[in-house]
């Protein structure tokens, strides 16, 4: 058996694979944060709660309305994204002219409300969401047994990340978005409805979080607290990638998944800490993040 | 049966009142018996004790007719938010301002230890139902608290021993990397090796961890027959769920959970948990009396009780009976009375309170049913065997408790 | 007009403002001295500890414009170090233990500060949050913190080896003294030339740079003072409650101190004190009421309301009102 750094090659490959799948989650979540930060300049502290809401709505929809996984994958991001639109319209817009730190505090408050309410209604144990029938079972990759559903998560997350990158970097809508990020006043002068663009962007970022939530529902127990611990890690990913950088968020997300995966093999005790260590190193060497522009 | 208990209790109360008349009242510290229920009402441990435990406590109070020794029983509660200083503070306030006679509930071990230190200093009595740490009646024992339902010692001892006896002699340990996980791992290692088994590998994961796939893969690669989970709460739940996705059980390995509650199994579903061996202090469907009480609880709360919630009822009832028998609510007198009386009810069999404050009673080895075997939403365990009270808990000979003369 | 000591109207106003302020301080101090007669002293001590914590945090946010999302790390570091010292060296007096805890927080604060101070706004918040997370993981795994169980039975001991603190009243007056000292340090810092430069940096950093100020050094000093005082609050809290636990290190604690400051009034001296008092009372009262399970929802709602329509906080709004009506 080939040995890599004291670990059999098969185990090593398997761990890389798992790291990549986790990385896909990080990428999806940090992408949403980056999109929102790009235009609104706020750190969306409610992102974890909105991710959790995605999983919850999918579960409730299955339980009470009989909406299956595939439909939920489309519908839930729409529903939760609409909620995001409402939040932006009713609340975030009022503080748009203020220091952006207020946005962080406001969304933190929203996250507390969302989580606390769901805990009181549903408890914290959570419930399980069944893996859709077509994705049950597993694939034998030769070096590991990979549950089909995890393979699907990887593919779905990468497709959505790629699609988002394409829309933003290669389409007219994306061009407006980027221009709005650089100079909103000018865009307004050119007749682009910037407030509407902002609303839709926030809705889209929230929908991405909800999409990640639906993807996660069959993997982890669906509980009101599932988002809050993940959120802090995703923040670190965004900081490492460079705040607001779309490509940075995606690549860093995947890379951090890999690094974390390898840490779990060689020094598992540090698995939760390694991303923060990377963050500190990056900030010392490149203060604006790997893909960020120096302000 | 329950009806009997109620009538019995109230007739004793009636008789007592008739006999002693106002004499008994004079022994009570004030004109009320005051019970404070302290638990995590909104966080991670909400579902295993939380509001349901408070309901169980109220059931016990109602079942004695809402009064004892001629004074009414007052129940109040607080959320400790799993924080030792919130818990200690609340109880300090209860002692100083509310004349609390009994503190019940308590889940997070940090809260229980903090509360017992406060009561040791200020005087008072606590019955801890939810905590796992066996140190509560070992190095942290005080004359002011009793530990009721379970602790880590029988969990490790019961499950690990049974598993090795069934042929599971090679183990891979999945351990939460903090004091609680280390202690549990050490206990399990000892039991496994004593019974002729071997620990052939392990990994210490950070606390808390949501993604266990990497560790499960390492466990699969180890070739051990048994994967032991020396963790708790959401970590255990996540580990079991991931193990099921990676077909750990199908590929011939078996999981041994060390700290798992009914609500955890209910939340994960039988598909993911089937075949899991665990040790429990009580199960709602284990016999007629248990079912009867559980049904009454279910009618009020809408869920089946966990062993902790049942333990809150059992311990409160034992306490109230002791207050009545002793004719006083003075903490040490009541504690002595409680220790003199064996504990024998729907919850505890062969139960008694030792001098270190540990209530030892029969524990049970259970296996989680498969979806095919289960006949209902809460039909989750099959009781495989009974671990007698005397063997289940840490022997007093090994105790470091200052109340035990060795 | 030759020999007059007469003052310009502006100086007179300033002097009478200072007189009014000193009167206010005296009245408040008097109230604080009498408070334990009416209110449960342990509760008061909790309020004072958190008030000091919030004031320390506010020094950074309100007067240097830096939002730290990692202040829990300093509170916990102070608490753990004091707890460990007092438990392992029985001869140590409480004030020495508190001093050691505070020093530990100062050292950690210097480390945090050097790493984070060059970042601004949201970057700064994120960096402090990440650093605090690392401290949290350290405290979970370190062998001496008791992990999840926490550190218990820290002796209150005897102040200077003379006065026993085991009763609540002497303990209260000691905590009050610590608070007054901490508050005085903040008050002096804010009103010193150093504080003026900080404010200038907050208002317009590039201008401060072009005026020749070493902006980073100023911010770093402010950060270290703030961290040290947060550690002082944590150390004192450990002596009062005789325990240190992970709750103090969790990032929710960093969020709570922001809430206290925001509710009371960012950038006002008394705002954090009022905010801490309100939040602690709310938590204590609500936790024991039938709606106790909803504490975090209510805190979240207060956050939202504060940000939306109450940004100056309670003390800030009162100051505005006074200024409008009496000037």
- Enumerate the residues of chain B whose CB falls inside 8 A of the CB of residue C152: 84, 110, 113-114, 117, 140
- The token pair at B402 is 């200052």
Residue with tokens 């100086």: C11
- Show which residues on chain C lie within 8 Å of chain B, measured between beta carbons: 40, 42-43, 46, 137, 140-141, 146-150, 152-153, 237, 241-243, 245-248, 283-284, 287-288, 292-296
Q: Is B395 within the bounds of a domain?
A: no
Say whether A102 and C131 touch across the interface (CB within 8 A): no
The answer on pLDDT for A127 being more than 80 is no
- Enumerate the residues of chain B whose CB falls inside 8 A of the CB of residue C243: 84-85, 88, 114, 117
Residue segments in chain B with a per-residue pLDDT below the cut of 50: 1-3, 5-6, 11, 13-26
Residue C127 has its nearest CB partner, among A100, A109, A283, at: A283
Q: Is A291 within the bounds of a domain?
A: no
Kindly provide the residue ranges of all beta strands, DSSP E only, lying in chain C, ordered along the sequence.
158-159, 163-164
Give the DSSP per-residue string, A234-263: HHHHHHHH-TT-HHHHHHHHHHHHHHHHHH
Predicted pLDDT at C221: 95
My answer on whether B177 and B146 are in the same domain is no
Q: Is A1 within the bounds of a domain?
A: no
* Domain count along chain A: 1
Say whether A131 and B245 touch across the interface (CB within 8 A): yes
- Enumerate the residues of chain C whose CB falls inside 8 A of the CB of residue B58: none
Say whether C294 and A269 touch across the interface (CB within 8 A): no
Q: Is A2 within the bounds of a domain?
A: no
Q: Is A13 within the bounds of a domain?
A: no
- The span from the CA of A75 to the CA of A61, in Å, is 10
In terms of CA atoms, which chain B residue is nearest residue C148? B110
* Residue A264 contacts B where some CB pair is shorter than 8 Å: yes
Q: Which helix (H) or strand (E) holds B35?
A: strand B33-39
Say whether B247 and A147 touch across the interface (CB within 8 A): yes
My answer on whether B376 and B315 are in the same domain is no
**Domain finish residue from B314, B337, B356:** B356
- Enumerate the residues of chain C whose CB falls inside 8 A of the CB of residue A108: 255, 258, 300, 303
| Alpha-carbon distance B213 to nearest alpha carbon in chain A (angstroms) | 7
- The count of other CB atoms within 10 Å of the CB of residue A182 is 9
- Enumerate the residues of chain B whose CB falls inside 8 A of the CB of residue C292: 41-42, 77-79
Give Cα separations from C274 to C34, C253, C259, C262 (angstroms).
Answer: 18, 17, 11, 10
Residue B42 has its nearest CB partner, among C243, C246, C293, at: C293
Q: pLDDT per residue over A184-242, tens digit each?
A: 788 888 888 888 989 999 999 999 999 999 999 998 888 888 888 788 889 889 889 98
My answer on whether B162 and B135 are in the same domain is no
- The span from the CA of B297 to the CA of B312, in Å, is 12
Q: Is C269 within the bounds of a domain?
A: yes
* Domain count along chain B: 2
Predicted pLDDT at B18: 43
Q: Is C10 within the bounds of a domain?
A: no
- Enumerate the residues of chain B whose CB falls inside 8 A of the CB of residue C287: 78-81, 86, 90
My answer on whether B233 and B307 are in the same domain is no
CB pairs under 8 A between B and C: 100
My answer on whether B383 and B253 are in the same domain is yes
- Rounded to two decimals, the pTM is 0.85
Q: Is A294 within the bounds of a domain?
A: no
Contacts of B307 (CB under 8 A, 6+ apart): B149, B150, B261, B262, B280, B281, B282, B283
Strands B126-128 and B102-105: parallel
The residue segments making up the domain with residue B161 are: 153-280+363-387
Q: Is B106 within the bounds of a domain?
A: yes
**Domain finish residue from B337, B356, B375:** B356
Contacts of C among chains (3+ CB pairs under 8 A): A, B
Q: Is B28 within the bounds of a domain?
A: yes
Max CA distance (Å), chain B: 72
Predicted pLDDT at B24: 42
Q: Is C25 within the bounds of a domain?
A: no
Predicted pLDDT at A42: 87
- Enumerate the residues of chain C whose CB falls inside 8 A of the CB of residue A34: none
My answer on whether B224 and B107 are in the same domain is no
The residue segments making up the domain with residue A74 are: 19-285
Predicted pLDDT at B22: 40
My answer on whether B268 and B329 are in the same domain is no
* Domain count along chain C: 1
Contacts of B among chains (3+ CB pairs under 8 A): A, C
Contacts of B340 (CB under 8 A, 6+ apart): none
Q: Is A42 within the bounds of a domain?
A: yes
Say whether A125 and B264 touch across the interface (CB within 8 A): yes
Strand, coil or helix: C266: coil
Predicted pLDDT at A2: 64
CB pairs under 8 A between A and B: 107
My answer on whether B26 and B100 are in the same domain is yes
* Residue B252 contacts A where some CB pair is shorter than 8 Å: no
Say whether A268 and B203 touch across the interface (CB within 8 A): yes
My answer on whether B252 and B318 are in the same domain is no
Say whether B93 and C284 touch across the interface (CB within 8 A): yes
- The span from the CA of A242 to the CA of A246, in Å, is 9
Q: Is C196 within the bounds of a domain?
A: yes
Strand, coil or helix: B255: strand
Say whether A225 and B44 touch across the interface (CB within 8 A): yes
My answer on whether B370 and B226 are in the same domain is yes
Q: Is A12 within the bounds of a domain?
A: no
The answer on pLDDT for A111 being more than 70 is yes
Q: Is A7 within the bounds of a domain?
A: no
My answer on whether B130 and B223 are in the same domain is no
Top residue of C133, C136, C205, C275 to mutate, by most chain A CBs within 10 Å, is C133
B276 phi/psi in degrees, rounded to 5: -70, 135
The CATH number of whichever domain residue C249 belongs to comes to 1.10.3470
Contacts of A243 (CB under 8 A, 6+ apart): A34, A37, A288, A289, A292, C122, C123
Count of residues in chain C: 327
Could you tell me which residues are beta bridge partners of residue A7? A4
- The span from the CA of C167 to the CA of C131, in Å, is 38
A12 pLDDT band, cuts 50/70/90, is confident
Give the DSSP per-residue string, B192-231: HHHTT-EEEEEEEE-SS-S--HHHHHHHHHHT-SEEEEE-
Q: What is the predicted ipTM?
A: 0.85
Give the DSSP per-residue string, C195-258: HHHHHHHHH-HHHHHHTT--HHHHHHHHHHHHHHHHHHHHHHHHHHHS-B-GGGTSHHHHHHHH
Q: Is C13 within the bounds of a domain?
A: no
Predicted pLDDT at B345: 95
Max CA distance (Å), chain C: 75
The residue segments making up the domain with residue C257 are: 40-326
- The span from the CA of A259 to the CA of B369, in Å, is 39
Q: pLDDT per residue over B299-333, tens digit each?
A: 999 999 999 999 999 999 999 999 999 999 999 99
Q: Is B14 within the bounds of a domain?
A: yes
My answer on whether B180 and B199 are in the same domain is yes
The CATH number of whichever domain residue A82 belongs to comes to 1.10.3470
Residue B267 has its nearest CB partner, among A10, A138, A221, at: A221
* Residue B201 contacts A where some CB pair is shorter than 8 Å: no
The CATH number of whichever domain residue B247 belongs to comes to 3.40.50.2300
Mean pLDDT of chain A: 88
Q: Is C115 within the bounds of a domain?
A: yes
Give Cα separations from C111 to A241, C63, C224, C229, C302 (angstroms).
Answer: 23, 21, 9, 16, 33
- The span from the CA of B15 to the CA of B309, in Å, is 31
Residue segments in chain C with a per-residue pLDDT below the cut of 50: 1-2
Q: Is B393 within the bounds of a domain?
A: no
- Enumerate the residues of chain A whose CB falls inside 8 A of the CB of residue C295: 116
């Amino acid at each position: 058996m080939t040995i890599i750094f004291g670990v059999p090659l098969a185990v090593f490959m398997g761990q890389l694979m798992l790291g990549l799948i986790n990385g896909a989650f990080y990428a999806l979540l940090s992408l949403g944060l980056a999109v929102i930060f790009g235009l609104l300049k706020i750190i969306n502290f409610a992102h974890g709660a909105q991710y959790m809401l995605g999983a919850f709505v999918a579960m409730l929809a299955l339980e009470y309305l009989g909406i299956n996984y595939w439909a939920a994958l489309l519908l839930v991001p729409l529903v939760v994204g609409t909620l995001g639109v409402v939040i932006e319209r009713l609340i975030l817009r009022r503080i748009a002219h203020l220091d952006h730190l207020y946005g962080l505090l406001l969304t933190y408050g929203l996250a507390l409300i969302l989580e606390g309410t769901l805990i009181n209604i549903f408890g914290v144990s959570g419930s399980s969401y069944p893996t859709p029938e077509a994705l049950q079972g597993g694939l034998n990759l030769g070096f590991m047994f990979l549950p089909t559903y995890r393979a699907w998560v990887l593919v779905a997350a990468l497709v959505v990340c790629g699609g988002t990158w394409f829309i933003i970097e290669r389409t007219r809508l994306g061009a407006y978005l980027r221009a709005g990020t650089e100079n909103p006043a000018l865009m307004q002068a050119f007749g682009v409805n910037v407030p509407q663009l902002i609303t839709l962007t926030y809705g889209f970022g929230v929908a991405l979080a909800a999409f990640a939530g639906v993807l996660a529902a069959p993997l982890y127990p669906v509980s009101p607290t599932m988002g809050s611990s993940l959120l802090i890690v995703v923040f670190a990913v965004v900081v490492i990638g460079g705040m607001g950088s779309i490509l940075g968020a995606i690549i860093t997300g995947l890379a951090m998944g890999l690094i974390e995966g390898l840490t779990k093999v060689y020094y598992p005790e540090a698995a939760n800490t390694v991303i923060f260590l990377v963050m500190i190193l990056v900030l010392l060497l490149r203060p604006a993040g790997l893909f960020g522009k120096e302000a | 049966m329950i009806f009997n208990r109620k009538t019995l209790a109230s007739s004793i109360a009636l008789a007592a009142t008739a006999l002693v008349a106002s004499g008994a009242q004079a022994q009570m510290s004030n004109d009320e018996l005051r019970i404070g229920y302290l638990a995590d009402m909104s966080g991670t441990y909400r579902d295993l004790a939380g509001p349901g435990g408070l309901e169980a406590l109220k059931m016990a109070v109602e079942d004695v007719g809402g009064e004892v020794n001629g004074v009414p029983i007052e129940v109040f509660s607080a959320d400790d938010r799993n924080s030792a200083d919130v818990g200690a503070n609340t109880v300090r306030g209860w002692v100083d301002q509310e004349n609390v006679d009994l503190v019940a509930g308590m889940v997070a071990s940090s809260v229980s230890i903090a509360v017992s230190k406060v009561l040791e200093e200020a005087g008072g009595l606590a019955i801890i139902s939810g905590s796992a740490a066996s140190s509560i009646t070992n190095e942290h024992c005080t004359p002011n608290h009793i530990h009721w339902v379970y602790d880590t010692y029988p969990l490790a001892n019961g499950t690990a021993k049974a598993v090795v006896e069934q042929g599971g002699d090679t183990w891979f340990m999945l351990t939460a990397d903090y004091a609680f996980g280390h202690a549990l791992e050490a206990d399990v290692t000892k039991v496994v090796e004593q019974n002729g088994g071997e620990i052939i590998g392990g990994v210490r994961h950070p606390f808390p961890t949501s993604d266990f796939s990497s560790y499960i893969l390492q466990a699969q690669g180890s070739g051990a027959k048994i994967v032991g989970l020396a963790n708790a709460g959401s970590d255990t739940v996540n580990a079991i769920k991931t193990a099921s996705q990676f077909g750990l059980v199908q590929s011939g390995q078996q999981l041994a959970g060390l700290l798992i509650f009914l609500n955890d199994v209910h939340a994960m579903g039988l598909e993911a948990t089937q075949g899991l061996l665990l040790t429990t202090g009580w199960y709602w469907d284990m016999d007629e009396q248990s079912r009867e009480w559980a049904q009454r609880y279910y009618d009020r709360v809408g869920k089946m009780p966990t062993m902790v919630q049942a333990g809150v009822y059992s311990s409160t009832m034992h306490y109230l009976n002791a207050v009545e028998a002793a004719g006083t609510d003075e903490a040490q007198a009541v504690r002595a009375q409680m220790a003199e009386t064996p504990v024998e009810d729907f919850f505890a069999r062969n139960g008694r309170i030792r001098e270190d404050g540990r209530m030892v009673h029969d524990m049970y080895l259970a296996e989680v049913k498969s979806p095919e075997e289960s006949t209902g939403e809460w039909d989750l365990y099959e009781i495989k065997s009974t671990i007698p009270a005397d063997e289940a808990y840490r022997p007093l000979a090994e105790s470091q408790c200052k109340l035990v003369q060795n | 007009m030759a020999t007059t000591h007469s003052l310009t109207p502006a100086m007179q106003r300033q002097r009478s403002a200072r007189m009014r302020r000193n009167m206010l301080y005296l009245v408040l101090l008097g109230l604080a001295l009498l408070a334990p007669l009416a209110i449960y002293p342990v509760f008061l001590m909790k309020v004072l500890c958190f008030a000091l914590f919030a004031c320390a945090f506010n020094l950074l946010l309100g007067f240097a414009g830096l939002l730290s999302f990692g202040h829990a790390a300093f509170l916990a570091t102070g608490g753990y170090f004091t707890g460990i010292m007092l438990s392992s060296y029985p001869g140590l007096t409480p004030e020495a233990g508190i001093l050691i805890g505070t020093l530990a927080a100062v050292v950690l604060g210097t480390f945090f500060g050097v790493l984070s101070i060059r970042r601004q706004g949201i970057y700064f918040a994120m960096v402090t949050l990440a650093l605090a997370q690392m401290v949290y993981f350290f405290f979970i795994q370190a062998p001496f913190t008791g992990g999840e169980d926490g550190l218990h039975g820290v002796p209150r001991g005897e102040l200077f080896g003379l006065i026993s603190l085991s009763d609540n009243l002497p303990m209260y007056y000691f905590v009050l003294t610590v608070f007054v000292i901490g508050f005085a340090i903040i008050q002096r810092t804010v009103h010193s030339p150093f504080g003026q430069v900080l404010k200038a940096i907050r208002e317009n950093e590039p201008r401060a740079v072009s005026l020749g100020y070493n902006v980073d050094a100023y911010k770093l000093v402010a950060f270290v003072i703030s961290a040290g005082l947060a550690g002082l609050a944590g150390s004192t809290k450990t002596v009062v409650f005789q325990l240190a636990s992970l709750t103090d290190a969790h990032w929710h604690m960093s969020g709570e101190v922001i809430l206290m400051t925001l509710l009371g009034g960012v950038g006002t001296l008394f705002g954090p004190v009022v905010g801490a008092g309100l939040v602690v009372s709310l938590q204590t009262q609500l936790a024991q009421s039938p709606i106790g399970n909803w504490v975090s929802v209510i805190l979240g709602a207060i956050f939202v309301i504060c940000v939306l329509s109450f940004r100056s906080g309670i003390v800030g709004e009162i100051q505005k009102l006074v200024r409008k009506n009496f000037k």
